[in-house]
Amino acid sequence: MKIAVVGATGMVGTVMLKVLEERNLPITELIPVASARSAGKKLTYKGKDFTVVTLEDALKMKPDVALFSAGGDTSLEWAPKFAEVGTTVIDNSSAWRMDPTKKLVVPEINGDVLTKDDKIIANPNCSTIQLVAALSPLHLKYKMRRVVISTYQSVSGSGVKAVQQLDNEEAGVDGEMAYPHKIGRNAIPHCDIFLENGYTKEEMKLVKEPKKILRDDSFSVTATAVRIPTSGGHSEAVNVQFENDFDLTEIRQILTETPGIIVQDDLANNVYPMAINAHDKDEVFVGRIRRDESQENTLNLWIVADNLRKGAATNTVQIAEYLVANNLV
């Protein structure tokens, strides 16, 4: 199987190659793809050197699968071109997520929606993936009515420039700013651009994407997204009201038995999810599981995941694995 990684030299692309190395997709040929200025560079994969090629060259090679992580504009222009030559594109940008003709997939939740005819598949927003991973089994059991999310998102979610800004601030170096304010020792309630309704684009992704993934618009969602000075890992405080009452022991059991979820909820020993411990891991970590005592049938959770892995690269690769396992590519 011939696989192209588009954006191979970028932050998510680099992690994607690492995830591919760790997993068992039957890759016979790897095609690393980047912009013209990176073409000709060498990168190492499984101990072998590969030459980075342009999108034009990769298209001519007609890969079976192309994992895109090169931004929305690139995806809008090039994903259809790859699809036309028979390539299945799994796109990590926001370009296709809310397109009604495209599937938005977390494979362990809604992989069953995929068919051989799906040539452009959208990978959800990083914050959405960890949210629905934890809420999906609870929704099936208790049926959600309303979800309130506050995110605490690392600078790595904004890309290399933002990571460099934090590094520069910690080193006392003046440099290019990714944010309109300093991020060190700060919390900026501003992830992505502001929209006319006063919410950011990131917040509206959290409002819309879970409904599409869960194939259910009967529940409501509101979100506030905050950027904090951590280098990796997104955290979420989630308040969810259900139609049906629940037992906390059963909640913990359901989450513990859900593949890809690790419950860390031992308050006596100060055990709860933290971004620093989620680093380089593919699981979604859930803790601080407690009843909201201010209203009925309502639960509080703290959800943490590595935004570059399960929130981006790993989920993209898992979609490819699902396609291969089900003979859809």
The answer to whether residue 234 is catalytic is yes
Whole-number Å distance between alpha carbons of 304 and 307: 9
Mean pLDDT to the nearest integer, 219-227: 98
Exposed, middle or buried, 116 (CB in 10 Å: 0-12/13-18/19+)?
exposed
Mean pLDDT to the nearest integer, 301-312: 98
Query: pLDDT, tens digit, for every residue of 134-147?
Result: 999 999 999 999 99
pLDDT grade, residue 24 (50/70/90)? confident
Query: pLDDT, tens digit, for every residue of 154-163?
Result: 999 999 999 9
Residue range(s) occupied by CATH 3.40.50.720 in the chain: 2-124+312-325
Q: Which residues pair with 3 in a beta bridge?
A: 30, 65
The gap from C-alpha 20 to its chain's centroid, in whole angstroms, comes to 16
The single residue of 181, 190, 191, 234 carrying the catalytic annotation is 234
Whole-number Å distance between alpha carbons of 273 and 25: 30
Whole-number Å distance between alpha carbons of 211 and 139: 11
The pLDDT value given to residue 194: 98
Q: How many C-beta neighbours within 10 Å does residue 223 have? A: 24
pLDDT grade, residue 55 (50/70/90)? very high
- When the candidates are 3.40.50.720, 3.40.50.460, 3.40.50.280, 1.10.1740.10, the CATH number that belongs to 2-124+312-325 is 3.40.50.720
Contact predicate 320/68, CB 8 Å: no
For a pLDDT cut of 90, what percent of the chain falls above it?
Answer: 99
Quick one: tokens of 98?
């809310």
Residue range(s) occupied by CATH 3.30.360.10 in the chain: 127-307
The answer to whether residue 139 is catalytic is no
Specify the length of the chain in residues: 329
Mean pLDDT to the nearest integer, 161-186: 97
The single residue of 126, 139, 190, 279 carrying the catalytic annotation is 126
Mean pLDDT to the nearest integer, 254-272: 98
In the DSSP assignment, the letter for residue 271 is B
Query: pLDDT, tens digit, for every residue of 65-80?
Result: 999 999 999 999 999 9
pTM flag (> 0.85): yes
Architecture of the structural domain at 127-307: 2-Layer Sandwich (3.30)
Average pLDDT score over the chain: 97
